[in-house]
Amino acid sequence: MPRKPRLNVDLSDESDDVFYTTVMLIYNLLTLNVALFTGIPVPMGALDPLSPLKFGGAITIFNNTRLLPTYDGKTADVAKARLEVQKMVRQNGDWLNIFCNGDLTLLKKTGYPLSKEDEAQGKLEQSEITLVPIKGGMDFMISHVKGSNLRYAVMYTLATNIEDDPAKWDHFHYAGNRDGTILDLQRNVDYKFSSFAMGTSTNLTYSNALTAKPL
């Protein structure tokens, strides 16, 4: 039985130019067809595209930042601005996939590209994980790994665990958006963390382990 059509809600593989063009198409079509999608989490038709506090503003901030002359830290600023847009694109896209329930006519009115069938990808590249200690937990960010329909996760354990293979660590955290927070950790105790991407292969590539201590 063929799988129902779905929207591709992760635009991470697209260049900045293509990403901006795609997101503007999504913005314009959802604004045009706002009456069809009552209840969408980020309501396009009600948003001012110039407001820095709303979705259209996030698009403008990303585009303006990427077009600035080169300066120290620009790459990080562009990535941060793009991530804010991607989060909103995913939030609406996940909702639309449920709302449209495979109706191709509705899906094509969203501006989102359609998701391709999963293809055999082989072993994926290694990701990198960035950690920021918080009170009783850890904020994390996982670098993007090239591939379609990937998911990401973090393995973690107490630093006193002598096991070196992250696959054998005792805690797993699913990271839907490549960034998030792991809570309920012991304060002022060292943990080690390792991220990985998941595709069609069961042969996973873990990041280099990092050790950090929740506040």
Q: Summarize pLDDT for 173-214 with one digit per residue, the tens.
A: 988 678 889 999 999 999 999 999 988 777 899 999 999 999
Residue 116 lies in a domain: no
Full residue range of the structural domain in which residue 39 is found: 16-107
Residue 10 lies in a domain: no
Residue 179 lies in a domain: yes
**41 Cβ neighbours under 8 A, 6+ residues apart:** 91, 92, 95
Same domain, 96 and 58: yes
Same domain, 173 and 133: yes
CA–CA gap between residue 196 and residue 205 (Å, rounded): 6
Same domain, 102 and 144: no
CATH number for 203 = 2.60.40.10
Burial track 48-70 (b if 16+ CB lie within 10 A, e otherwise): ebeeeebbbbbbbbbbebbeeee
Same domain, 28 and 81: yes
Residue 120 lies in a domain: no
Q: Which two tokens stand for residue 88?
A: 């909103």
Same domain, 151 and 103: no
Same domain, 96 and 147: no
Residue 153 lies in a domain: yes
Same domain, 202 and 136: yes
Specify the pLDDT at position 51. Answer: 61
Residue 11 lies in a domain: no
Residue 152 lies in a domain: yes
- Strand ranges, E, within 38-175: 129-134, 137-142, 151-158, 171-175
Of 61, 76, 107, the last residue of a domain is 107
Give Cα 157 to chain centroid, integer Å: 24
Q: What is the DSSP string of 112-130?
A: PPBPPPP----SPPP--EE
Same domain, 40 and 77: yes
Residue 122 lies in a domain: no
3-state DSSP call for residue 47? coil
Same domain, 45 and 97: yes
* Helices 55-66 and 74-100, axial angle in degrees (round to 10): 140
pLDDT higher than threshold 90 for residue 107: yes
Same domain, 78 and 142: no
Same domain, 103 and 141: no
Q: Summarize pLDDT for 188-197 with one digit per residue, the tens.
A: 999 999 999 9
Same domain, 170 and 89: no
Q: What is the pTM of this model?
A: 0.60
Specify the pLDDT at position 162. Answer: 96
Q: Summarize pLDDT for 38-97 with one digit per residue, the tens.
A: 999 987 644 555 565 555 688 888 988 999 999 998 998 998 889 888 888 999 999 999
Q: How many domains does the chain have?
A: 2
For 62, 71, 72, 144, 158, the CA distances from 68, given in Å and listed in that order, are 10, 8, 11, 23, 43
**190 Cβ neighbours under 8 A, 6+ residues apart:** 158, 159, 160, 211, 212, 213
